[in-house]
Amino acid sequence: MGTYSLPDLPYDYAALEPAITGQILELHHAKHHAAYVKGANDTLEQIAEARDKDQLTPTGLVGLEKTYAFNLSGHVLHSIFWENLSPDGGDRPDGALADAIDEHLGGFEAFKKQLSVATASVQGSGWGVLAWEPLGKRLIVEQVYDHHGNVGQGTTPLLVFDAWEHAYYLQYKNVRPDYVSKLWDLVNWNDVKARFAAATGA
């Protein structure tokens, strides 16, 4: 049994239609996310084998560590992504999260535009992320290149939007902003608020 396992979705593959088709969701979860889980487990085994055989070299370890970070980050972000979405999602948050968005990000509409632009404009493949930054004790919006590049150190992802082509291309072609716009109709704010509360100790 590997260290990591593919989580079940909290809804059926067709549950997010029409925003995300069942075909895309099944491919995304059962193929792409599953590949990151396998990649993380396989790379951990390769690192352990090299360590046990005293065959760790600087060049070899750097490659393995980068591969492990890529796959593990893909697994972590996808696991959050599925929980961030719901067929009953949409609208906007309330309570402490709404207050923090007002304080740190200029209000909900300004935040929505910033995260949308961040997601739609990621160069190549990546993510748009609403995160809690504990050093400054504030919400930030950041772009994640691939799965793990350009991430603020120590930030906790609260809401993640997948901007990899496999997340939308079969349905939205190359019009990533249309896909991002539809994601807002699916946001599970109860999940995002729970992550915010856990990150802030509220």
Annotated binding site: 28, 78, 162, 166
Determine the Cα–Cα distance for residues 113 and 105; give it in Å rounded to an integer: 10
3-state secondary structure of 64: helix
Determine the Cα–Cα distance for residues 25 and 166; give it in Å rounded to an integer: 9
Contacts of 52 (CB under 8 A, 6+ apart): none
Determine the Cα–Cα distance for residues 110 and 80; give it in Å rounded to an integer: 23
Between the alpha carbon of residue 193 and those of residues 77, 187, 197, 201, the distances in Å are 17, 11, 6, 12
Q: What is the DSSP letter of 160?
A: E
Burial of 196 by CB count in 10 Å (0-12 exposed, 13-18 middle, 19+ buried)? buried
- Joined together, the tokens standing for residue 123 give 């160069």
Question: Residues forming the annotated binding site for Mn(2+)?
Answer: 28, 78, 162, 166
Contact 64, 47 (CB under 8 A): yes
Q: What is the DSSP letter of 5?
A: -
User: Residue holding tokens 């260290």?
Assistant: 3
